[in-house]
Each structure stands twice: as structure tokens, then as C-alpha cells.
Structure 1
């Protein structure tokens, strides 16, 4: 376990960390929950993930290069590391293989699916299961548009925003909340329902007794899927809130649809989706305190049911890490 992952409640989980297209010939350095990670492709194009810190003098391996043998070379003294993290060569030093094993770099399990690179946040290069990848991202005939940007916010505030329905007629009154805004009256009420799923929960919101239009899924720990109802069509927005550090979150957006594939219409639809994201940004970045506090420290109401379920999960998970307790099973019900 690395301290940064534990402090953010993200130890021993799968999370996307980058788009596949971001890792090509050169290594990619990134920060995940305060921990430095380097992604690179070996000689066959297979992805690898290591701690972005040479064990020799602590420099970033991401500043180095990948050799013809698929090993990552440190830019400082030329030490070389394989995809498994083992040290394969230390120039100017005649060390046998058994001694070089002492100079290995921490490796992480990594997968490339659905246009994203997924990393398992337990050091060691192995994972007990596979990441949950939304079906639409790998479904034939579906156009997936990708976008990423970094917010000045803690990932929990960004995640709660993505699970929150009551803000739609206010923050998004000119886009996806327009219809809701038009129907809303001074005496209107909203009912928020929540059902548990193997990947987290699904929430439905209805106003004034009108059946809910679409649904929203929490993809534990840091993902969201908005299911937009279009008869005979598939339209989903996926968002992952990737913690960079205590004050920054990288937002990874994947919009999936089985219509409007051709440019320039496809570009217009994708631009509309990023517009929705930008409507949220300034609001979320203004949150104080930066990290979502325990439930009792802010005033909440019935329409906060989904966000409170996430918040309880997050703080309970952090407590478990502090106590050294094992992680909860994937299907453990959430208190709501």
C-alpha cells in the first residue's frame, strides 16, 4: 500500500489513469493520489506501469527513454528496468542478476481497455480481479469521444457533483437541465431513489411524480455513467474523477453513442458534452472545505441521498484503512 492511495480512500482498486492515446513512444509520467507513476510501452507495445522514481537517486524515470529491448532507462545513470520493475542493467557496475534484484522498482498491474489505461492501486504488479469497463466503451458500432482536463478540486467534491441530480435545473439550465427547469414550480419536489448494483449504485430522480427520465450509475470508486433515454438508441456519458493530489482532480470523460458518427456533427456533439462539464467546474472548484467532509459536518436534505451514500462509503473506507481492516467486499450495501 502506498500512503497517497490510502489517504484518498483508493487503495486496492482499479481506476483509469489516462487515455490510451496518451501513451505512445515516450514514457508518460503522472501523479495519482500524490504518488508518481510512469506508464510506458515495451518492445511489443504492451503497457507497463512503475513507480516514477529510480531507486538509485530518486529521479523521475518518465524523463528517460524506452530501449529496443522494451526496458525503461533512467535518464540519470542509465539504470534499466523491465515492465515487471526488475533492474536489468546497471552501467559501469558488474553486478550479477541476483544482486540486481535488490534494485527493483515498484510495479503495478495495468490494463488497456475501452480507450483507457487502468491501474490497480496495489504495488506488486498483480491484481485479484479485472477492472469493470462499461460495455458501451467496447461495443462495436458505438462512437466514443474522449476528453480530459484537470480541476482545482478534491476528487470527492467532483465525484459528488457527478452523482447529484438536484443541481441540474440550476447549473445546467441551458443544457441537460433545461427541460427540468421549465417544468419546475415553486412548490415542486424531487424524489431520489437509489438501488445497489455490483459496481456501486444506480439512482433515479423524479420531479412532481413524473417518471424519471434516464438513470445515473456510480461506478465504484470514482466513476459515473449517465444513461440518457433516446428510443432505439444508445447514449451514455461516462466520467471518472482521478485524484492527482489533495487539490487537483483529472476529469476523464468518455461519451458513447451509436448514432452521429460522422464529422463535423460528431464533433459538435462531443463539444456539447464538454460544455456540460465546464458548467460544473467553477461550482465544484469553489467548494470549501476542499475535501468532502463527514456527513454530519454539512447540512443535507432528502434529495442528497445519492451523494450522501457516496460520502459515507468514502469516509468509512478511510477509517478501515486507518484501522488496518480488510477492504469491504464489492457488493457490501451502502447506508442511505
Structure 2
């Protein structure tokens, strides 16, 4: 699990007038809205006596109150009121918890979990089709995986498995015909152009079978982004029909992943077809989920020494390379093994931007330990050019 990235904490529609708990990167957070409707995110622990803020309430001070003793925390994590001390009583400087930047996009609440200043953060991935209501119809789907987020992302960009895992998308006998045409990558993202030969379309009251012949060449472009651990799958069904599945994959903990997915289509845009779109998308997630849950090992191998890869795996190799660089050079990986001896005895928190701007402050909570980088980061040009990835073959 990596810090210093944007992650989706919850659907926007879930957070209303009461605080909501969200678990990400193995830690608990509280989401709440102020009077203007802006959503905020804090560590879900009161530094007074350990109360859960998500079980509290919002106040007239635009704060979230702890249900244990009523301490009120503002959007920056600072305590603004201690009931037992009365109004206008001084507040101890250490009476604060970590607060995290938030954005609402695509019907999701995004939270930046790290201490990087704004100008150094990778951006939330673009999804312009979501805002184009005239030309695209959107439906949302959620799926919970018993699997690590790294495995989930790799599964989402792996075109080779479709011929065996998804009967509606591929034929086993066509596995050698499906081809990767090109692979591009940048500092924190990658994409590939592919040609597949899937079965005849099904669904939408039987209408889909008329729009693509059996084994007709179909162009598919998967992409991944470190921010949100997002996967974007663009399927050009034919010359005028397109589907895009955009999913943000949130690591709840080491072995659990929550996917916030939005599918958009530029055809059959009437609500009557939404149910079928959700059903088919959920079915695909379910087929993948059964595979990912049974993978050994649970974690994504850090090298290729214990696996055998071929040319068709080069796009997954790009994902592994970029992920590994942020572990080995930037040191963004949480050291979960170092935390296990303290389980149930000590509360950790993800470092927030305020910790960098307040180095003098002795915070009440310790931050999660990170795996130390093992090599110096290579210089990155201001605008990294796209280039084709060489296959990792062993």
C-alpha cells in the first residue's frame, strides 16, 4: 500500500448530514460535510481518549464532535471546543489530528493520503466523459475484493485473461490472435492499444447481437494510473458504439480492495438500459474476483524471478515497473510488518501535509512506518515523453 496518492474514500451520495467512517490503507478516517456542503477528511480518532469521530455529529462550528466527551475538531483537524473547559477556554496546541485534502469528482470523494505539498502531487486521473451528459450515459457499480490492490489493478489491465475468464469477451482458441499493438507509459501512468476478437454481443433486450459480428476485430485500450490505483478500460464496440469503464481501486487494508466503478456508454442512453449495464459490469467484476481471490501469492511479486512472463505480459510489466520505482526510489510503501507487533495497542496515522508545515509540533499520534527506499530516484524530465515499453520476458 502506497502513501502520497489520491484515493477514493466513498461515493459522494453517501456522505450527507452525518459523519461517515471510511477505511483506507489499513487506517480509519472520518468524512463529514460543513455547512457549505464541502466534504472534509480527518483521522477517525479523538486524541483525548480515543473516541471514534465517525460516531459523532457535526456542529455549528463546522466541526465534527467526538461522541465520548464532545471535543470538536475542525476541517484542519484542530480542536476548537472542549466542553469540559467551557467557552473561550484555551486549547492545547497538540490538540489536533491529521486532516487530508479532498476533492469530489465523478460522483466520488477523493482524499490525498500523504504529506506532499499540492504542487508535488500527481493529479486525479481525467474522466471527461463523465461530465459529458449529452453524449455519454453513466452508471455506477461497486465491488469488494478479497485481494490486494496491486493484484486487482494488474487484473484490470490484463487483456490476455479475457479469453479464459470472461466468456462474453473472448474465446480460448483466439488467445494467440489477440494482440498488443502499442504500449505507452509516463511517470505514474500507462496505456496500451489492443485488438481482440470477442464473441457476438449479448444483452440490451437482444439488440446488441445486431451490432457486432462474432469474432469481429475490436479495439480495446486499458490504462492504469497510480493516483487512485485507477483502471480505465475503453472498448470500441464498433464504429459508433463505445463503452468506458473507469474504476478507482482503494486498498481498504493489505488484503481487501474496494472498487468504485463508473461505466459510461454513448449508445442506448435511456434509463431503461441502465440495469443491464450494471448487471453486466458486476458480472465481469465477479468473474475476476473469483480468480484474484485464489491467486498465489496474495501479494504482487516484486521481481520476475518467481514467475515466467512472455511478450504478451509487457503491459503488466509497465505497471510493475512504475509501482516498484515508487517503492524503491520514493519510499512510499507502508511497512505493515513493522506495525503488526503494535496491533490493538497503538494507533498509527497517515502523515498529512500539516505535519510538514508544523515540524515543531509534537503530534499525539505516530505516523505509519514506511519501507526505506533502496536506491536514489532517477531525475524525471518536466514532461516525460511517451514511449513504447520493452517487454519483460523471462
- Which TM-score tier does this pair reach, normalised by the shorter chain? 0.7 to 0.9
- Is the alpha carbon distance of 1:326 and 1:27 closer, same or farther for their aligned partners in structure 2, counting shifts above 3 Å? farther
Tell whether 2:33 aligns with 1:25: no
Task: Give the structure-2-normalised TM-score.
Answer: 0.74
Q: How many pairs align?
A: 322
- In structure 2, C-alpha distance between the alignment counterparts of 1:12 and 1:97, rounded to whole Å: 36
Instruction: After TM superposition, list the pairs within 5 Å mapping 1:278-289 onto structure 2.
Output: 278-289=286-297
1:38-53 map, 5 Å? 38-53=30-45
Structure having the higher Rg: 2
Distance 2:180 2:133 in 1: 36
Indicate conservation of the 8 Å contact 1:120/1:127, yes or no. no
Partner of residue 158, structure 1: 152
Which of 271, 275, 298 is residue 290 of structure 1 equivalent to?
298
How many Å apart are 1:38 and its aligned residue? 1.1
Deviations 1:183-225 (A, max 9, x none): 617x6574453112576111123469x9761211112241111
Q: Write the distance in 1 (CA, Å) between the matches of 2:322 and 2:56.
A: 39
Match of 2:373 in 1: 323
Which one is further off, 144-153 or 104-113?
144-153
Match in the other structure for 1:148: 142
Taking the aligned partners of 2:224 and 2:27, their CA distance within structure 1 comes to 25
Question: How far 1:232 moved relative to its partner?
Answer: 3.2
Partner of 1:4: none
- In the alignment, which residue of structure 1 is the partner of 2:346? none
Query: 1:274/1:14 Cα in 2 relative to 1: closer, same or farther (>3 Å)?
Result: same
**Pairing partner for 2:234 from 214, 218, 227:** 227
Question: 2:110 and 2:239 mapped to 1: Cα distance?
Answer: 32
Q: In structure 1, what is the equivalent of residue 76 of structure 2?
A: 84
Pairwise CA distance, 1:171: 0.2
Contact 1:109/1:127 (<8 A) preserved: no
1:169 aligns with 2:163: yes
Kindly indicate whether residue 294 of structure 2 is the aligned counterpart of residue 300 of structure 1.
no
Root mean square deviation of aligned Cα: 2.8
Which of 196, 211, 214 is the equivalent residue of 2:185? Answer: 196
Q: Residues 109-154 of structure 1: CA distance to partner in whole angstroms, max 9, x if unpaired?
A: 0001111111111148956454233111222323221121211111
Q: Quickly say closer, same or farther: Cα 1:147–1:214, change in 2 above 3 A.
A: same
Separation (CA, whole Å) in 2 of partners of 1:205 and 1:257: 19
* 1:136 aligned residue: 129
In structure 1, how many angstroms separate the alpha carbons of the residues matched to 2:253 and 2:154? 17
Unaligned runs of 5+ in 2: 198-215, 332-371
Structure 1 contact 23–41 (Cα < 8 Å) conserved: yes
1:270 to 258, 262, 278: 278
TM-superposed CA distance for 1:48, in Å, is: 0.3
| Aligned partners of 2:185 and 2:318 also within 8 Å | no
**1:234 CA drift (Å):** 4.2
Quote the offset at 1:94 in angstroms. 5.0
SS in 1 for 2:259: strand
CA offset at residue 162 of structure 1? 0.3
**Pairing partner for 1:213 from 216, 219, 233:** 219
Q: Does 1:238 align with 2:246?
A: yes
